[in-house]
Amino acid sequence: MPRRSTGKGDGLATAEAAPRRAAPLSPRAAATRQRILDAALAEFEEKGLAGSRVDEIAARAGANKRMLYAHFGSKEELWLAVLERAYAAKREEERGLSVDSLPPAEAMARLVAFNLRYTARHPEFVALLNQENLHRAAYLRRSEMVPALYFPMLEAMRRVLARGASQGDFRAGVDPMQLYITIVALGHFYVANRHTLSSIFGAPLDTEAAIAAREAHIVDVVLGYLRP
């Protein structure tokens, strides 16, 4: 199991915890492992953990069950590996935002836009999180890597809030964890429920125009809350 990183990063642009790693693999073995992960992601997105079958994942990966078990041990361990990789991929992109170099309001707007648009581009991430919540995070609780990914991100948000407060742009005393949850929720709910909402309101909510309108709305909501 990976060990939790205790180092502090330089904003979102600093290297953070990496997915769990075992002994170095040969190029062929690494390629097989990658195919299994890709196949498992597609299978889990479609059918969830309970509905997915190891033999179907192996067939989809062009491998066999023996190789799958050799790399991951069980379907549950494969689920956790896929989940960790999904979180790590989001953090990898988020690091590139470099919000410490931006004015506070622009930095916050960029965080809002990124979280909405990343979720819209990656419905598989929404599906995995929804499934893991159905399991009450039983598998995610075993991961030390995923919580470690969030520590540098929250510190970066804390610095943006502190700069904004010191410059008179933001109110003081905002909890970075609560604000981050709000930002993620405002985008995640929209994407996760876009089909039902589109049906209810009689308007397609997955078009670029609709997502841009949602982005502008969330930015206004968040910056309005932060206003002194």
43-59: average pLDDT: 97
Q: Is 82 within 8 Å of 74 (Cβ atoms)? A: no
Here the CATH number for the domain that contains residue 101 is 1.10.357.10
User: How many CA atoms lie within 13 Å of 160's alpha carbon, on the beta-carbon side?
Assistant: 30
Contact 197, 190 (CB under 8 A): yes
Confidence of residue 1 (pLDDT cuts 50, 70, 90): very low
Residue 71 lies in a domain: yes
The answer for residues whose C-beta is within 8 angstroms of residue 183's C-beta and 6 or more apart is 111, 112, 115, 218, 222
pLDDT of residue 133: 97
Indicate whether 4 belongs to any domain. Answer: no
pLDDT tens digits for range 186-213: 999 999 999 999 999 999 999 999 999 9
134-185 pLDDT tens trace: 999 999 999 999 999 999 989 999 999 999 999 999 999 999 999 999 999 9
pTM: 0.84
pLDDT one-digit tens code per residue, 122-138: 999 999 999 999 999 99
Look at residue 9 and tell me if it is in a domain: no
**Stretch 106-124: mean pLDDT:** 96
Decide if 147 is inside a domain: yes
What's the domain count of the chain? 1
Is 60 exceeded by the pLDDT of residue 22? Answer: no
Asked if the structure places residue 8 within a domain, the reply is no
DSSP the chain: -PPPP-PPPSGGGS--PPPP--SPPPHHHHHHHHHHHHHHHHHHHHHHHHH--HHHHHHHHT--HHHHHHHHSSHHHHHHHHHHHHHHHHHHHHHTT-GGGS-HHHHHHHHHHHHHHHHHH-HHHHHHHHHHHHTTTTTGGG-SHHHHHHHHHHHHHHHHHHHHHHTTSS-S---HHHHHHHHHHHHHHHHHTHHHHHHHHTS-SSSHHHHHHHHHHHHHHHHHHH--
User: Has residue 17 got a pLDDT over 70?
Assistant: no
- Mean pLDDT over 35-51 rounds to 97
Q: Which domain holds residue 21?
A: 14-226
